[in-house]
Amino acid sequence: MSVIEELQSGALSAEENVARYFEAIEARDGEINAFIEVNSRAIEEARAVDEKIKQGRAGKLAGLAIAVKSNINVMGLRATCASKTLENYVAPYDATVIERIRREDGIIIGMTNMDEFACGSSGETSYFGPTQNPAAKGRIPGGSSSGSAAAIAANFADLALGSDTGGSIRNPASHCGVVGIKPTYGLVPRYGLIDLAMSLDQIGPLARDVYSAALLLEVIAGYNPKEATTLRVSRPDYTSKLSADLSGYTIGFAKEFEEYTSPEIIREVKHALAKLEAQGASVVEVELPNLSKALPTYYLTVFVEFFSATRRYDGRRYGYRIEEVCGEEVLRRILLGRYISQKEYSGKYYRRALQFRSLIKKEMLEALSGVDLIAGPTTPKLPHRIGESIDPLAMYAYDLLTVPANLAGIPAGVIKVGEVGEIPVGIQFHAKPLEEQKILNAMYALEGG
Amino acid sequence: MDESKVRREAERVLKELSEALGEISLEETYYVVEEINVTRNDAEPELNPEFRKAALKIAPHKDEEGYYIAEMGSWV
C-alpha cells in the first residue's frame, strides 16, 4: 500500500506520517545535510489535517510531508537560498505554490539545502555545507536542488519542491535516483520563488514515484493572475490520465547525445529505450546539430539575469549585502553579469546569447515536431566525489543536456533507469510545450505501470 | 576567498563561452511565453496585515515608527 493509500484509508494518520519523517531526519540528516530548517509547526498542522480527513473534507495532498527548496517563500520559515546573504530572512508570505499545497492539505516539513542562490550543479556551494548523495555515498547529489532530491532519496519526505533553471531538478533527480520534472515555462507560478534567472526558472516536483510527482504537479500548476508570465491554462489532471500504454508513441533519440555522454550512461539509456519499444513505442533518430551551443547560450544569459536579480540584496531591507558575504561561484556570476550588462558589452554577449536561444528553441521544437518525446541522458557524466576540485567550466558541463529544455521553454522529466557501479543513472524525456502528460506516461511505463 | 582568482577565472570563462558560441543573425528570444498577460482586470487590493510586521521583523535597522534605516548611498 502506498503512503497516499494508507493516509486515505486511515491506516496511517498525517501526524504519524510527519512524526516518522522527523525521526528519520533526526537520526540521519546530520550525515546527509538535506535540510536547512525543519518546520516546528508541522505536527500541529498534521493534527489539523487529521481532523479534516475524519470529516471527509481533506484535499488531494492530505497528510503528505513536503520538503521545500530554500529559495521558495514559506511564511514563517527561512528562505535562505543557502547563502549567508539571507541567513536570517524569514519569509513574510507564502509563494503561490505553497498556498496551493496548503489548500490541498499538504504539510511543509522543512526547507532543503541547495547550491547558494541555485548557482551550482553539485550541491557543494551551500553556505550550510554540502549535501551527501544518499544513493551514492561520497558522491555529489547534483544541484542545485540537492537537498530536495536527497530528502526524497533518503526517505525524509513524501514529496519535494525544487526549482529548475538549467537542470536543477533533473540533474539531482538523476544522481539521486528519483523522479523529477521541469514543467513548461509558465505552467507553474513563480510568485514567491527567489530568482536565479527569471526567463528560465520553473518550480517543479521531486518524488519517489511517478504518480506522486504527477499529483504534486497538478496541484501547483495553473494560471496565476499575479504574474505576467504564467500561461492561461486550466488546472491539469495528470493522475487520472496516467497510462503505461505507449502504443502509438514515437520517441526520438539524437545521435549528438552519444557524442557528449559517457558510454556507460548511454548504455543504460539505450536499455530503457528497448523497454519502451517493448511497451509499444517506436524509437527513431532525431537531429540536434547545435546542441553544443546550448551551454554557452545558457550561461551568458544566466550571468546577466542573475546579476540583475541580485541587485535587491543591498542589506537595507533584509539580509547582508551580497558581494560582502557570498561564495566564489555567486561572486563569479555577479562579476560576469555586471561586466556583460555594461552597455558596450550587452550586444557582444547577451543579445548574441538571446539570438542563439532562438536557434536552440527552433531546433528543439523542430526535432519534436515529428515525435511525441525526445529521450536521452540527463547528465553527460557520473557525479564526482564530494570535495573534488573541479574547474568552473567542467562544472558547467554537467548542464549540457538539461539546458536546452529551459532555453526552449519545454517540459522535461527524469526517472532512474539503471546504475553504473551503484551510482544511479536517469533517463530524460522532453516534450512539446504543455505535453507533460506524455512525459509522465513514458516514465510511468518505465516504472512498470 | 581569493577575489583576484575569481576575477581571473571569470575572464577565462567569458572568453571561452563567447568563443564557443560563435556568430549568428537571428531575432532574439527574450521570454518563452508568447502570450504575455500584459494587462489584467482591476480587482480589490488584498492587504495582509501580518506582512508589514513580518517584513519589519527581518529588517537590519529600523526606527520606532516602523521605518527602515539605511545608510546613504556612496553615490549620493
ipTM: 0.86
Residues of chain A falling short of pLDDT 70? 449
Q: Is A328 on the interface with B (CB under 8 A)?
A: yes
* pLDDT one-digit tens code per residue, A241-284: 999 999 999 999 999 999 999 999 999 999 999 999 999 999 99
A413: nearest Cα among A265, A141, A202, A111: A202
Class level of CATH domain A3-447: alpha beta
Instruction: Find, among A134, A106, A125, the residue nearest to A24 by Cα.
Output: A134
CA distance, residue A63 to nearest chain B CA (Å): 26
Read off the amino acid at residue A7. L
Of A89, A229, A336, the CB nearest to B10: A336
Supply angle C-alpha A325, A328, A329, rounded to 5.
115
Asked whether the beta carbons of A76 and A89 are under 8 A apart, the reply is no
β-strands A423-430, A412-420 pairing: antiparallel
The three cell numbers of residue A434 are 504543455
User: Is A126:A113 a contact under the CB 8 Å cutoff?
Assistant: yes
Chain A residue with the nearest C-alpha to that of B43: A225
Cis peptide before A144 (omega within 30 of 0): yes
| Cβ–Cβ contact B55 with A under 8 A | yes
User: CB A409 to CB B32 under 8 A?
Assistant: yes
Cross-strand partners of A425:
A418
Cβ B60–A93 below 8 Å, yes or no?
no
Nearest to A229 among B14, B20, B36 (CB): B36
Residue with cell 551580497: A322
C-alpha cell at A169: 531538478
Does position B40 have pLDDT exceeding 70, yes or no?
Answer: no
- Nearest Cα of chain A lies from the Cα of B72 at a distance, in angstroms, of 10
Of A232, A331, A355, the CB nearest to B6: A331
Give pLDDT tens digits for A299-342. 999 999 999 999 999 999 999 999 999 999 999 999 999 999 98
Question: To 10 degrees, the CA torsion angle through A234, A170, A129, A29?
Answer: 80
- Cross-chain Cβ contact B51/A92 below 8 Å: yes
Question: Is residue B76 scored above 80 in pLDDT?
Answer: no
Complete DSSP assignment for B17-72: HHHHH----------S-SS--------PPP--HHHHHHHHHT-SSB-TTS-B--PP
Query: Is B58 near chain A, with CB under 8 Å?
Result: yes
Beta strands A250-254 and A202-207, pairing class = unpaired
Enumerate residues 346 to 385 of chain A having a beta carbon within 8 A of any beta carbon in chain B: 348-349, 351-359, 361
> Which chain B residue is nearest to residue A359, measuring alpha carbons?
B26
Of all residues in chain B, the one with the smallest CA distance to A351 is: B28
| CA distances from residue B63 to A45, A89, A120, A319 in whole angstroms, order as listed | 35, 19, 38, 17
Other Cβ atoms within 10 Å of A77 Cβ, number: 23
Question: Which among A88, A230, A300 is the nearest to B58, CB-wise?
Answer: A88
* Distance (Å, whole) CA A330 – CA A264: 33
| B17 contact A CB<8A | yes
Q: What is the pLDDT of residue B74?
A: 67
CB A107 within 8 A of CB A58: no
Place of cell 547529489: A141
Residues of A in contact with B23 (CB under 8 A): 352
Q: Cell triple for residue A373?
A: 518525446
* Residues of A with catalytic roles: 69, 144, 168
Q: Least CA distance to B48: which residue of chain A? A: A93
The full DSSP string for A97-124 is HHHHHHHTT-EEEEEE--SGGG--SSS-
pLDDT surpassing 60 at residue B20: yes
Q: Quick check: A93 and B48 CB within 8 A?
A: yes
Cβ proximity of A162 and A172 under 8 Å: yes
Give the pLDDT of residue A98.
98
Three-class secondary structure of residue A303 per DSSP: helix
Which residue of B lies nearest to A326 if distances are taken between CA atoms?
B1
B32/A90 Cβ within 8 A: no
The predicted structure's pLDDT at residue B32: 66
Q: Which of A91, A93, A229 sits opposite B33 (nearest CB)?
A: A229
What pLDDT was estimated at residue B70?
A: 86
Q: pTM for the whole thing?
A: 0.96
CA A381 – CA A175 distance, rounded (Å): 10
C-alpha cell at A89: 530572512
Distance from CA of A220 to the nearest CA of B (A): 18
Our CA-based measurement puts residue B53 at a distance from the nearest CA of chain A, in whole angstroms, of 8
Q: Does any CB of chain A come closer than 8 Å to the CB of residue B33? A: yes
User: Rounded to whole angstroms, how far apart are CA atoms A382 and A139?
Assistant: 9
Cα separation, A177 vs A155, whole angstroms: 12
Q: Do A349 and B18 touch (CB under 8 A)?
A: yes
* A220 closest CA partner among A187, A198, A195, A172: A187
Residues of chain B with C-beta less than 8 angstroms from the C-beta of A409: 32-33
